[in-house]
A and B are shown apart, each in its own frame.
Chain A
Amino acid sequence: MSIAAAIGDTLQEEHQPNEPKRKGKWVPYLLMLPGMLWLAIFFVVPIVSLFLTSLQTPVPGGQVGEFQQTFNFANYWDTLSDSTYYIPLFRSFVYSGIATLLALAIGYPLAYAIAFKSGKFRNLLLVLVIAPFFVSFILRTIAWRQILADEGPVVAVLRSVGLVGETAGVYPSAVAVIAGITYNFLPFMTLPIYASLERVDPRLIEASGDLYAKPFTGFRKVTWPLSMPGVVAGTLLTFIPAAGDYVNAALLGRPSNTMIGNRIEYTFLSVNDYPTAAVLSFILMACILTMVLVYIRRVGTEDLV
């Protein structure tokens, strides 16, 4: 049942004939008030401010970081046509796309195993999935440097099987950045999928077997479609923050692995070019929004909660 339908039901129940009509009319609005206020103060206002910043131009002859409010929409085109901005932007989507697929490939079996095969260890395994959150994000990412360092265990193994040359390494590289993103966002993929799978009635899977479906067909026709809400939620929760992430690229990447988040950070904090940084933030937002809309349309959201 969708949220809208649920709210509709509640409203209908409130409109019982013998109930005074006025009572409770404002309740839904009052309930929404904190959320709306939150959105207005922490989303709408900053967005408007960011948009205005993105149209500013430097004060002629001014100091670094001095800008005046104009409505210079050319900022957008100037930024979009600059390869040092659109290449990292494109790279961000490639990295976060690969990381999302990897997280799905790792997270789905993991969630499946926890939901169906873990028995009494289920809670323990769930705790283990979120256990990394007890350690700081930054520390965990820095730990990957040690893991992937030239003298570390990963490179030693890869060298012994000849996958990595004697002088080449894994950190810093695109591989390290993608590995870092995958690792850092894995719980965001696993938990929604687990939540979906956990609600799948095992009798449905049994029924598919009774109807002569092979285990794989049963999975394809029953389990997978029923877990779709979790898969969609998981991919969105992974892809959207990963596309804007800059910590992994900063800590695990080389200059040629720069993502758009790093460009925004540098443009904002080092160049002090606030309009360009704001333009980049808006473009990033627009790209993500478009991709998410296309994705949701294709996958379908009828049964998503």
Chain B
Amino acid sequence: MGKELSRRRLLGALAASAALAGCGTQGAPGETGQTASQDPNDDTITWANWTLYLDYNRKTRSFPTLEAFEEETGYTVEYREDIDDNVSFNGKVAPQLARGMDIGYDLVTPSDSLIAQWIAKGWAAPLDKANIPNAKNLLPELENVAFDPGRVYSLTYQSGFGGLAWNKERVPNGLRSVDDLWAPELKGKVVVLSEVQDTVGLVMLAQGVDIDKPFTAEQFMNALAVVEEQVDSGQIKQVKGNSYKEDLINEQAWAAIGWSGDIFQINAEEGDKWEFALPDTGGTLWSDNFFIPSTATNKAGAEALINYYYRPEVAAKVAAWVNYMCPVKGAQEILAKTEPALAKSEWIFPTEKLLSQAQVFRDFTPEEEREYTEAFGRVVQA
């Protein structure tokens, strides 16, 4: 994040606290007209997101859509790339959330599985749809998800695929199946995700287990045993969160279990060197969701921000950069005018055929969550 930007935001925060000290009263969160909320006490929105997950201008070191939002609304957005994987993010904030203490974020964007847990624990602030009129732009198929029917607490930010990524020079023949990752010539050159659902999920699919339907603990453990074998033999060099892409960029790893959009972004940033595909046995499909924790100090601001990113023209800009699946109606039509090639990308606007090749990992029960996370830890921390 740009230095100047942070400094400006810091000054903004200081000014806000000075104003707070001056008048001594806390302004009530604006209930009317979110864009009009110029209350200096309440104008910072802190958003925890993943890396490479928002349009970024390398030259100015800024996030163009975010800057436009700040200019338009007068809010200051503290944008933090603090989520590396769901379990570790949960571990960091869950103890505070359980006690009802402020976790420092007004808006977070973790994946379905974590949102499901947090809603079950009552840590969600219901979204005030009056502040988010653009929520009507949500794709109909995403309206009634299992963990949040009717979208009371969450709205999709981006969706994407877990699949195979490889360096085209180093792996000229490409990868077609998960088993291709275990080829002798890739020994010590494979990095896999520390996200159980993606890494174990892909192996389960390769073993013919449907991950979107009930499966047995034995089926899970069978897949985990494959990961364990490859970790122990040194075939898998590292097990990483979102930072796996650094290993691809500096060629410490030549092949990976990774996420669709990341690969298109590093291709755009580091030269067209990588390729992404779903394994022939199927990939994983997941979503990350806008979610306001019950402890948020600027709920109205967070809702204004969600509303902004649900404008088709803004969503189109983000989609063009992140290359993940866009959940907003109308973005494709806008992109078709500005960047026709991207509007045709099936990774952003997937075809039925592509969607049929991927499965959504079903939610874990609390017991499974404990058991599987622990078992996965035993493997990745031998």
Contact = CB atoms under 8 A, between A and B. Distances in A.
A270 B87 contact: yes
B91 A270 contact: yes
Interface stretch (A95-103, A114-122, A220-228, A253-261): A253-261
B239 interface: yes
B117 A63 contact: yes
Interface in B176-211: 187-188
A65 interface: yes
A181 B88 CA distance: 24
Contacts of B250: 149
B381 A88 contact: yes
Contacts of A63: 117, 120-121, 366
A: interface residue count bin: 20 to 34
A64 B239 contact: no
A266 B374 CA distance: 9
Contacts of A84: 377-378, 381-382
Query: For chain A, what secondary structure do more than half of its interface residues adopt (helix, strand, loop), or is it mixed?
Result: loop
Contact of A271 (B238, B373, B382): B373
Contacts of B90: 269-270, 272
Contacts, number: 81
15 contacts: A65-B98, A84-B377, A84-B382, A88-B381, A149-B250, A150-B251, A167-B187, A171-B252, A255-B382, A266-B377, A269-B87, A270-B88, A270-B91, A272-B94, A272-B373
Given A256-B232, A263-B381, A270 B366 contact: no
Contacts of B299: none
Contact of B374 (A62, A150, A255, A271): A271
A273 B94 CA distance: 12
Nearest to B184: A167
A266 B188 CA distance: 23
Interface in B224-261: 231-232, 234, 236-239, 250-252
A62 B365 CA distance: 10
A269 B92 contact: yes
Contact of A149 (B88, B117, B252): B252
Contacts of B129: none
Given A149-B250, A150-B252, 4 more contacts: A84-B382, A87-B382, A266-B377, A272-B373
Contact of B231 (A88, A171, A255, A269): A255
Interface string B86-115: 011011101100100000000000000000
Interface string B115-145: 0010011000000000000000000000000
A215 B382 CA distance: 48
Interface of B: 87-88, 90-92, 94-95, 98, 117, 120-121, 187-188, 231-232, 234, 236-239, 250-252, 366, 369-370, 373-374, 377-382
Centre residue among B87, B117, B237, B381 by max chain A CB count within 10 A? B381
Contacts of B239: 255
A64 B117 contact: yes
Centre residue among A87, A150, A171 by max chain B CB count within 10 A? A150
B370 A64 contact: yes
Contact of B237 (A254, A262, A272): A254
A273 B237 contact: no
Centre residue among A150, A256, A272 by max chain B CB count within 10 A? A272
Counting from the closest, the 6 A-B pairs by CB-CB distance are A269-B91, A258-B381, A270-B87, A84-B378, A271-B374, A266-B377
A151 B251 contact: yes
A263 to B, nearest CB: 6
B312 to A, nearest CB: 37
B382 A64 contact: no
A172 interface: yes
Interface string A70-114: 000000000000001001100000000000000000000000000
Centre residue among A63, A167, A263 by max chain B CB count within 10 A? A63
Contacts of A65: 94-95, 98
B382 A258 contact: yes
A62 B91 contact: no
Contacts of B91: 268-270, 272
Interface in A130-159: 149-151
Given A149-B250, A269-B92, A272-B91, A255 B117 contact: no
